[in-house]
Amino acid sequence: MKAIAVLTSGGDSPGMNAAVRAVVRVGIASGLEVSCVHGGYSGLLAGDIRQMTHKDVSNLIQAGGSVIGCTRCQEMFEDYAPGAAANILKRRGIDGLVVIGGEGSYRGAIKISQHGIPVVGIPGTIDNDIPGTERTIGFDTACDTLVDCLGKLRDTAASHNRTFVVEAMGRNGGWLALYGGIAGGADVILIPEVPWTNEEVLTRLTARAASGKTFHLVVISEGAGRCTDLAGWLQAQTPDELEVRATIPGHIQRGGSPSTADRLFASRCGQRAVEALVGGRGGVMIGELDGKIAEVPLEKAIEGRRVIDKQLFELALALA
């Protein structure tokens, strides 16, 4: 292994830059040439690959998003694309690739590796739902952002005796809603993994009101239903008792300077990704297992989605 490249792909997440920085610096410290691909797989297919120095990644660990871009790339699903991508890397003398992203990104990565370029994945997504790892880069920061939003809404809810229904990101899983909801002190948390009905929500809110609670925070995961629908239904049922508002923080949850934990996890992943490539262990994703950095076959990382811990959901019920 003489030269490697790193790219970010799929939805951006806070901490991706910290991972890129670690790949570059640990790579250089390991005697490798390290390049960044700009613009994800699209940039790779277009040959937008730039060699980096130690200094090129200065002041990057704190930056949100991905400074090397992470455009989604339809072209990568074409049959010829993975081979073309591998050839471009070979022509540049690059013999290893680090892909920071999620499931879709890994599918492309696996195909590229079948054309003779060892690839290592790093889990970068705020969704926290990649199988084979207990943590993904950006999830912790997204939780902090959602919790901050809930804290602000709590001020207004308490002042006006209101009910807020807040939509958390997560089309396929309730991770962000559950973690952010518990930490933000939400009274009701709705996630796709646990069935629920409008009526049950209403029952819980009226029980809370009966016990003297004057305001309520409901967090609903994107994948569990429509925030505005639920808010509208609740309001229609209780025109006099509750004053219901819907709030959708949306993409705000994706941005921001990464938390300490995300910066550290990203840095460790970057370090281990270089070690894996140098050690001839392509085809793995770096993740956290049993609280420790580990290598997992990339194939495992695309087998469905990691589901939330039901015990944590029970905790949410006990605390609300």
Q: Pick from 145, 150, 151: which is nearest to 252 by CA?
A: 145
Question: Which range, of 44-52, 80-88, 108-116, 182-190, touches a copy of itself by CB under 8 A?
Answer: 182-190
Residue position matching structure tokens 């290893």: 96
| H or E stretch covering 120 | strand 119-123
Which CB, 95 or 140, lies closer to a copy of itself? 140
Backbone torsion region of residue 68, taken as left when φ is above 0, otherwise alpha when ψ lies between -120 and 50, otherwise beta: alpha
CB of 20 to a copy of itself, least distance (A): 12
Q: Which of residues 12-31 bind a copy of itself (CB under 8 A)?
A: 12, 14, 16, 21-22, 25-26, 29
CB of 19 to a copy of itself, least distance (A): 11
Q: Which of residues 87-106 bind a copy of itself (CB under 8 A)?
A: none
Token readout for 259 is: 């938390």
Q: Which of residues 34-63 bind a copy of itself (CB under 8 A)?
A: 54-55, 58-59, 61-63
Q: How far apart are CA 192 and CA 11, in angstroms?
A: 21
Token readout for 167 is: 């939509």
Check binding of 204 to a copy of itself (CB under 8 A). no
- The SS3 of residue 179 is helix
Q: How far apart are CA 256 and CA 246, in angstroms?
A: 23
* Residue 127: active-site member: yes
Maximum Cα–Cα distance across the chain: 71
Q: Which of residues 211-270 bind a copy of itself (CB under 8 A)?
A: 211-213, 245-252, 254-257, 259-261, 263-264, 267-268
Contact residue for a copy of itself among 87, 114, 156, 203 (CB under 8 A): 156
Question: Which range, of 92-100, 101-109, 151-159, 196-204, touches a copy of itself by CB under 8 A?
Answer: 151-159
Number of residues that bind a copy of itself (CB under 8 A): 81
Token readout for 111 is: 């195909």
* Residues designated catalytic: 127
